[in-house]
């Protein structure tokens, strides 16, 4: 199996809900579900690998408070070299809604100070040579993002394939954010975006054509994956042909981190040199399991959707 690493945003998620309708200002409501858990794109992917028994490395930083210590404890020996920043740890409060969607309130916290030096404090290029590095949270990790050119140079020098998932920009998909993302994709071997991100970047409504357009600006042999939620996933592989899988029909508890879990399972299968369609299947199966279980689980069959009454 090729070596795996994830690099990016790890923070605390407090999940509450479901809430409907949105409460009026000055009022209080009671919700049925709450969960305090490791979050952030990198954190969600790493949790999935950890639960699946996949060997990996994770480069992140933490704040100098009790939440930072709690995050480090969740990853045991893998967090021993994480730099500690003199800021509060980034906290996201996610409010879920009955339709499975969610709203986030997030503090800036420690994430903007995650840097290339922090990556090198954890990950040795030779140990990751020939493997995959999942790069997450590009619009949150300000210091590292400014050093992406040097990061891509380092990855290229060690034959490390970058799998890019930027996440949603805080100020939306502006012209500047799209331009930056296209530049990062030009040096990435794998794109792992959801359907809205894919079609927005490409300026095309059809997800397959949008994936083809994005791939045309990536290195030779690149893979573009389009995560489509309940509609499954599609990909354009090295041969330029599309493949697709359907997603299991499940009773959704919450979708927070679903795409990150997909990324982890997809890359774990890819690192075993499985066919692209099998990698897509692994991603959709594990993500479906995660969003339909409480406490969250990553293995075994997904919880089937309950029959309508």
Strand partners, 36: 14
Give, in words, the CATH class of 4-9+41-61+113-291.
alpha beta
Instruction: Determine the Cα–Cα distance for residues 263 and 191; give it in Å rounded to an integer.
Output: 10
Q: How far apart are the first and last CA of the chain?
A: 46
Q: Is the pLDDT of residue 34 over 80?
A: yes
pLDDT per position as a tens digit, 186-244: 999 999 999 999 999 999 999 999 999 999 999 999 999 999 999 999 999 999 999 99
Query: Among the listed ranges 30-39, 202-211, 246-255, 297-306, which one has the minimum average pLDDT value?
Result: 297-306
Tokens matching residue 120: 């090198």
Ordered DSSP codes for 169-194: -TT-S-HHHHHHHHHHHTT-SEEEEE
Phi-psi region of 53 (alpha: psi -120 to 50; beta: other; left: phi over 0): left
Angle between helix 258-271 and helix 276-291 axes, rounded to 10 deg: 150
Local structure of 18: helix, strand or coil: coil
User: What's the pLDDT tens digit per position in 86-133?
Assistant: 999 999 998 988 876 778 899 999 999 999 999 999 999 999 999 999
With a CB cutoff of 8 Å and minimum separation 6, the contacts of 296 are 37, 290
Give the Cα separation of 188 and 201 in Å (integer).
15
pLDDT of residue 300: 59
Residues 6+ apart with CB under 8 A from 246: 231, 232, 284
Question: Quick one: how far is CA 140 from the chain centroid?
Answer: 13
Domain chopping of the chain, boundaries: 4-9+41-61+113-291
Residue 283: pLDDT over 70:
yes
Largest CA-CA distance found in the chain, in angstroms, rounded: 58
- E strands of the chain, at which residues? 4-7, 11-17, 33-39, 57-59, 62-63, 84-85, 91-96, 102-106, 132-136, 161-165, 190-194, 223-227, 233-236, 242-245
| 241-274 pLDDT, tens digit each | 999 999 999 998 878 899 999 999 999 999 999 9
pTM above threshold 0.85: yes
* DSSP code, position 16: E
């Amino acid at each position: 199996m090729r070596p795996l690493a994830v690099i990016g945003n790890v923070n605390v998620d407090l999940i509450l809900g479901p809430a409907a309708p949105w409460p009026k200002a000055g009022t209080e409501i009671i919700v049925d579900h709450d969960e305090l858990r490791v979050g952030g794109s990198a954190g969600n992917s790493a949790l999935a690998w950890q639960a699946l028994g996949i060997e990996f490395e994770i480069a992140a930083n933490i704040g100098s408070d009790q939440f930072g210590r709690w995050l480090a404890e969740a990853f045991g020996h893998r967090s021993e070299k994480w730099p500690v920043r003199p800021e509060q740890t980034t906290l996201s409060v996610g409010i879920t809604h009955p339709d499975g969607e969610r709203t986030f309130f997030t503090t800036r916290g420690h994430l903007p100070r995650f840097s290339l030096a922090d990556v090198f404090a954890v990950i040795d290029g030779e140990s990751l040579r020939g493997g995959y590095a999942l790069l997450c949270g590009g619009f949150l990790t300000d210091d590292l993002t400014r050093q992406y050119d040097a990061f891509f140079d380092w990855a290229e020098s060690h034959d490390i394939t970058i799998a890019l998932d930027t996440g949603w920009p805080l100020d939306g998909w502006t012209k500047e954010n799209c331009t930056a993302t296209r530049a990062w994709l030009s040096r990435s071997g794998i794109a792992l975006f959801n359907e809205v991100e894919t079609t927005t970047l490409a300026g095309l409504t059809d997800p397959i054509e949008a994936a083809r357009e994005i791939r045309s600006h990536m290195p030779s042999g690149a893979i573009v994956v389009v995560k489509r939620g309940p509609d499954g996933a599609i990909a354009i592989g090295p041969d330029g042909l599309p493949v697709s899988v359907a997603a299991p029909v499940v009773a959704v508890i919450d979708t927070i981190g679903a795409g990150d879990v997909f990324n982890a399972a997809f890359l774990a299968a890819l690192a075993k040199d499985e066919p692209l369609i099998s990698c897509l299947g692994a991603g959709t199966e594990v993500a479906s399991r995660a969003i339909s279980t409480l406490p969250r689980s990553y293995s075994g069959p997904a919880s089937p959707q309950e029959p309508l009454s």
